Structure 1
């Protein structure tokens, strides 16, 4: 799939997340439990809509934040904490299709930035569109913060 990359400036978006330092090998088996923990917390706080799922990769360890965008503040408990998606200039693309193809979206952004002299700051994240049963209808926004 060809990914169209664009430069935009984004505002910080408040999130509720569980943060972890893990390995790329272990992360695939951890993220769902982390996300379920966040959803249980925000549901208990009375929020059930308007929260897109997010994954923020702060570094290459990886230190990750898995959670949801928050449309309003709420009481957070346990390991779920308030955070925010970064603000600033980003290179972004929209990935259409199954999640297995997300790596190609990130690679497209990194290649585009290298080709256009746009240094990366490190943090990158994904914002997931609404759930669709058909993987071909799934959209995920991929962002890389610029230095």
Structure 2
């Protein structure tokens, strides 16, 4: 798949989320129990969710992803709320970011991440302190699934 990478200003989203520390390869198995907890919480909170999407926020560390990343596995919600158990109210990071949209099955997401990293190298941009995946609506036809991948870009000094 060919990706178009664009720079945008990312606005905050409010999430109901569970934070886990995972290595990048563990995300496909770690997210399920975290999101199960979030969805169980949301079922008991009428009006807190209104067609929100699943959002994964990756907090980058100076040690790099091999040591593990803190990841907020969350769902967009309509308002702030007090924490309950492992579910926290999280506001997503904001700022200038590189964005690519992946169309297709989730197994292809690493290609979108690689495309953004390649774009950053080609455009002398530096990845910042976070990245995020915003999952679009589910569809049985994988070709109709869209996931937006965003990477914070550090401030340019020109």
Query: Do the two structures share a fold, i.e. TM-score over 0.5?
Result: yes
- Partner residue in 2 for 1:105: 112
The runs of 5 or more residues in structure 1 that have no matched partner are: none
Residue 146 of structure 2 corresponds to residue 145 of structure 1: no
- Partner residue in 2 for 1:21: 21
Aligned-partner SS, 2:108: helix
| C-alpha RMSD of matched pairs (Å) | 1.4
- Partner residue in 2 for 1:96: 103
CA change 1:109–1:87 in 2 (3 A) is same
- Partner residue in 2 for 1:44: 44
- Once the two structures are superposed, residues 11-57 of structure 1 have per-residue CA deviations (whole angstroms, 9 ceiling, x without a partner) of 11111110011233433222111111111112211135321101111
CA change 1:7–1:145 in 2 (3 A) is same
Report how many aligned residue pairs link the two structures: 147
TM-score (norm 2): 0.87
Aligned-partner SS, 1:89: strand
Aligned-partner SS, 1:130: coil
Q: Distance in 2 between matches of 1:64 and 1:92?
A: 19
- Partner residue in 1 for 2:3: 3
Residue 62 of structure 2 corresponds to residue 64 of structure 1: no
TM-superposed deviation, 1:10: 1.2
Q: Distance in 2 between matches of 1:4 and 1:95?
A: 10
Matching residue within 103, 117, 123 for 2:124 = 117
Aligned-partner SS, 1:26: helix
The runs of 5 or more residues in structure 2 that have no matched partner are: none
Q: Distance in 1 between matches of 2:41 and 2:116?
A: 33
- Partner residue in 2 for 1:31: 31
